[in-house]
Amino acid sequence: MEDYSEIIIPVSSEEQSSLFIASLTALGFEGFVEEATILKAYIPTSQLNQAEFNNWCTRCEVLVQQNLVKPNNWNQQWESNFQPVKVENFAVVRASFHNPIGGVEHDIIINPKMSFGTGHHATTYMMIDQMRGIDFWHKRVLDFGTGTGVLAILSKKMGATYVAAIDNDSWSIENATENIQLNDTAEIVINCAAYPPSQDTFDVILANINKSVLLRFISNFHSLLTPNGLLLLSGFLRDDVEDLSSVAQTNGFIIEHFQFQNEWVLLRLKRQ
């Protein structure tokens, strides 16, 4: 396991934090912790382009603190910050060291480590919130960019017959595999890949990634969906809505619903 770089950035608002996350994701950062006045961003040290990051700091006019995080220190790092997330009475996302929380339909155990997807971030919260309005019973589901595996796990708990979880990051694959075992959802098929399957069919596709990846693969998603299949997209900002909506409609999707939280957006699409 390799070392990670932790960047601590002062922020003045949730909107500024969201904008920073979007631009840092484009620079390769993989994990974020949002607090009241700071944003913590994480990236494998070997993947950090220091000159490019320094230019980003200059453009954004921010002074940051940069730390080295050893893999064996990460558990202590996230345990001190990770609190359960409850999406109304539908689902709760908690760590294995939290006590079970009653009064919810789905209890999901996630030990996130360096992977993205605990429900704390607006995009993951919105994805979970939208999933409660979808019938997953006996459905085939693709979770593209699975991160911690939280959406794949929820799909299986909601009755999906077949769930494929894909991510291009080996750490995420290791973490998602662990979380799948913790939730007794071992039937989920998990693969390390940078592309959607070339041949398969799905009733629901979940993609909580970033704008560039969504735009790149939206035609692939259309090809993989069954007629009237659903595609949930998130991981992009309000300023990106027009671009994504236009490309979605060009590729044969009907826009069913938008959801907004701070600067982040979820888009629900149906294949025509």
pLDDT confidence bin for 17, thresholds 50/70/90: confident
Number of domains within the chain: 2
- Residues whose CB falls within 8 Å of the CB of residue 71, separated by 6 or more in sequence, listed in order: 1, 2, 3, 4
Final residue in a domain of this structure, among 22, 53, 79: 79
* Euclidean distance between CA atoms 72 and 75, whole angstroms: 7
**151 plus 57 within the same structural domain:** no
Whole-prediction pTM value?
0.83
Question: Is the distance from CB of 243 to CB of 237 less than 8 angstroms?
Answer: no
**66 plus 201 within the same structural domain:** no
pLDDT digits (tens, 9 = 90+) for 219-266: 999 999 999 999 999 988 888 999 999 999 999 999 999 999 888 899
Final residue in a domain of this structure, among 22, 57, 79: 79
- Write the DSSP symbol of residue 191: E
Q: Where are the beta strands (DSSP E) in the chain?
A: 4-10, 31-34, 38-44, 65-69, 85-87, 91-94, 106-109, 140-144, 162-167, 189-192, 202-208, 225-237, 253-261, 264-271
Question: Is the distance from CB of 92 to CB of 104 less than 8 angstroms?
Answer: yes
* 113 part of a folded domain: no
**38 plus 164 within the same structural domain:** no
pLDDT at 91 > cutoff 70: yes
pLDDT digits (tens, 9 = 90+) for 114-170: 556 565 778 899 999 999 999 999 999 999 999 889 999 999 999 999 999 999 888
**CATH number for the domain including 191?**
3.40.50.150
pLDDT digits (tens, 9 = 90+) for 48-89: 999 999 999 999 999 999 998 876 655 566 555 677 889 999
